[in-house]
Amino acid sequence: MSLPKVRVPYLLLFPGFAFLFTFFILPIVNLAQTSTQTPIAGGDTGEYEQTFAFSNYIQAFVDNKEQFARSFVFATFSTLLALLIAYPLAYAIAFKSGKFKNILLVLVVAPFFTSFLLRTIAWKQILGEEGFVVPGLRSLHIISQQTTLTSTSFAVVAGMTYNFLPFMTLPLYASLERIDPRTIEAAGDLYANGITAFRRVTMPLSLPGVVAGTLLTFIPAAGDYVNAAILGSPTSKMVGNVIESRYFKIVDYPTAAALSFTLMATILVLVTLYIRKVGTEELV
């Protein structure tokens, strides 16, 4: 007995919806319930009751506003640096690499073959006294003999930029690779020099990749805590580190849940404003 055609699409959607419901919607609902709980009077550590204490959100933000600001500042700098590095790289792969295109694309994604944690630890060694960066900068008299790069905000931003660079490069490459070279040649036929052709043709046509890359980089960077934990210091902790500490060390689940929801809401608002401001539907 065959199913009516109208039901087939819904049956195809059911596995994906069931997965999202189980591993996304239900955890979000549980997180929302936890965020408004308060400790049970006289109870053990980690025991809470539902009191709908929405003041948890205000208190959590006020107590950790510096970490919130630092998270978005670090994420912004990391995203901008990744864009500055990835755009020339993606442009070279798309238009100048020739038969080496596939090899270069493999090299872009090759870091994903290694653990995120190991890649971050490697940056601690690269920026440490035993690496080549600090001695090189000292020999050029760019930094003093007492200056170190580990356990600094610079190290955190550098690690985040490196770890999320493929998320910026691949969307840019996909956008640039779709550009018809004849379009750029037509700009030259209309007496546009290389800079003008790039500014008036290549850059506008690649903006969908810029938007996608910046979103894929900024969103995980804002919630990251591994780079700050390994490469940073207590003065460079991000809100992700606070959430991790509240969950696993202090056992303050309501504050951790409230911080998580506040972070998600802030990112959602920023992303919405960004897309409305530089959305690509009218750019191509």
Place of tokens 């994903």: 112
Report pTM.
0.88
Q: Residue 283: its pLDDT value, please?
A: 44
Q: Residue 71: its pLDDT value, please?
A: 95
Q: Residue 266: its pLDDT value, please?
A: 92
Q: Residue 43: its pLDDT value, please?
A: 67
Whats the size of the chain, residue-wise?
A: 284
CB 79 within 8 A of CB 217: yes
Q: Is the dihedral of CA 22, 25, 29, 30 positive or negative?
A: positive
Q: Residue 282: its pLDDT value, please?
A: 46
Q: Residue 284: its pLDDT value, please?
A: 39
Coil, strand or helix: which one is 29?
Answer: helix
Q: Residue 279: its pLDDT value, please?
A: 64
Q: Residue 143: its pLDDT value, please?
A: 87
Cβ-based neighbour number of residue 15 at 10 Å: 9
Q: Residue 155: its pLDDT value, please?
A: 94
Cβ-based neighbour number of residue 156 at 10 Å: 27
Q: Residue 190: its pLDDT value, please?
A: 79
Give the separation between CA 247 and CA 250, rounded to whole angstroms. Answer: 7
Q: Which class would CATH give 59-278?
A: mainly alpha
Give the separation between CA 57 and CA 257, rounded to whole angstroms. Answer: 9
How high is the mean pLDDT in each 10-residue block of the chain (284 residues)? Answer: 67 90 93 92 78 93 94 96 96 90 93 90 89 88 88 94 95 92 83 86 91 94 93 91 91 93 92 81 45
CB 91 within 8 A of CB 174: no
User: What are the sequence ranges of the domains in the chain?
Assistant: 59-278
CB 253 within 8 A of CB 34: yes
Cα–Cα separations (whole angstroms), residue 87 to 7, 79, 92, 210 = 45, 12, 8, 8
